[in-house]
Chains A and B, each alone.
Chain A
Amino acid sequence: AQKVTQAQTEISVVEKEDVTLDCVYETRDTTYYLFWYKQPPSGELVFLIRRNSFDEQNEISGRYSWNFQKSTSSFNFTITASQVVDSAVYFCALSPNDYKLSFGAGTTVTVRA
C-alpha cells in the first residue's frame, strides 16, 4: 500500500519569508514517482513537479525548490521569499508504476502581506 504523510496542516508566514513543506512517503515499490500540486483558492489543481525514484537530484525552479531524499523517504518543497500569491493548499502525491496517485492530506499555506 502507498501512503503519503504531510504532517503540517497549516503554515502561516509573512511575505518574503521562506517556507518548507514536508512530505514523507511509504511504498514497497522500487520504482515510483513523486509529485507536488498546488491548489489556489480558486480550486483548480496545478501540477508543479514530478520526480522519479531513481533521480535524487534536487531541483530549483524560480523561487521553488525540491529536496528528494530516498534514505528518509522524503520529498520536501521550499518556497523562497514567499509572496501572497503563494497562498494555497499544497499536495504531495506518490505513484508507483501503475499510474494511480495517492495524495497526502495537504498543507495550507497562508502568506500575509
Chain B
Amino acid sequence: DAGITQSPRHKVTETGTPVTLRCHQTENHRYMYWYRQDPGHGLRLIHYSYGVKDTDKGEVSDGYSVSRSKTEDFLLTLESATSSQTSVYFCAISEPTRGGRNTEAFFGQGTRLTVV
C-alpha cells in the first residue's frame, strides 16, 4: 500500500471556524491532490500540487486553500467552514513516469468532515 496518511480521520466543526486537514506521504511522489466526495458527484478536485510551493486550483476550489512546504506534506485549509463543505476528503499522490506519462493516483483513507 502507498504510504499516505490523512489526519484527522474524522472531524466535527462549527460553521465559521477554520479547519486544516493534513496529508502526509512517504513515497516521495511529486504530485499531490485534494478531492472531495459527495453523493452523486463522484470525486471532485479541489487543489493539487506539482511540487514544493507549486499549487493550482481544481474545479471546486472556492473556500479552500492549500500549502505544500515539504514534499511529503500537503495541507488543505477551510478558512471559514460552511455546511456545504461537509464531505469526505481524500488526498492522493502520483508520480509521472520518466517519460512524463501519467500514472495511477493512490489515495489516502479519507477524512470525514462534518460542519454543523
B94 close to A50 (CB less than 8 A): no
Q: Which residue of B lies closest to A95 (CB)?
A: B102
Asked if B74 CB lies within 8 Å of chain A CBs, one says no
Asked if B18 CB lies within 8 Å of chain A CBs, one says no
B106 close to A44 (CB less than 8 A): no
B108 CB to closest chain A CB (Å) equals 8
- List chain A positions with a Cβ less than 8 A from chain B: 4, 6, 33, 35, 37, 43-45, 47, 50, 52, 91, 93, 95, 97, 99-106
Alpha-carbon separation in the docked complex, A103 to B44 (Å): 7
| Stretch of B19-27, B35-43, B61-69, B78-86 at the chain-chain interface | B35-43
Tell me the dominant secondary structure on chain B's binding face. Answer: strand
Q: Can you give 6 contacting A-B residue pairs, CB < 8 Å?
A: A45-B90, A45-B92, A47-B106, A99-B48, A99-B94, A103-B44
Alpha-carbon separation in the docked complex, A6 to B50 (Å): 29
Residues from chain B with a CB closer than 8 A to the CB of A95 are: 102
A44 close to B109 (CB less than 8 A): yes
Alpha-carbon separation in the docked complex, A30 to B103 (Å): 17
B30-58 vs A, Cβ < 8 Å mask (1 yes, 0 no):
01010100001111110010100000001
Which 7 pairs from chain A and chain B are nearest by CB?
A103-B42, A45-B107, A103-B43, A33-B102, A105-B42, A47-B104, A50-B104
A91 close to B43 (CB less than 8 A): yes
A100 close to B101 (CB less than 8 A): no
Alpha-carbon separation in the docked complex, A33 to B102 (Å): 7
Which of B44, B92, B100, B102 is packed against the most chain A CB atoms within 10 Å? B102
Residues from chain A with a CB closer than 8 A to the CB of B43 are: 45, 91, 93, 101, 103
A99 close to B102 (CB less than 8 A): yes
B40 CB to closest chain A CB (Å) equals 6
Alpha-carbon separation in the docked complex, A6 to B43 (Å): 13
Which of A33, A37, A99, A106 is packed against the most chain B CB atoms within 10 Å? A99
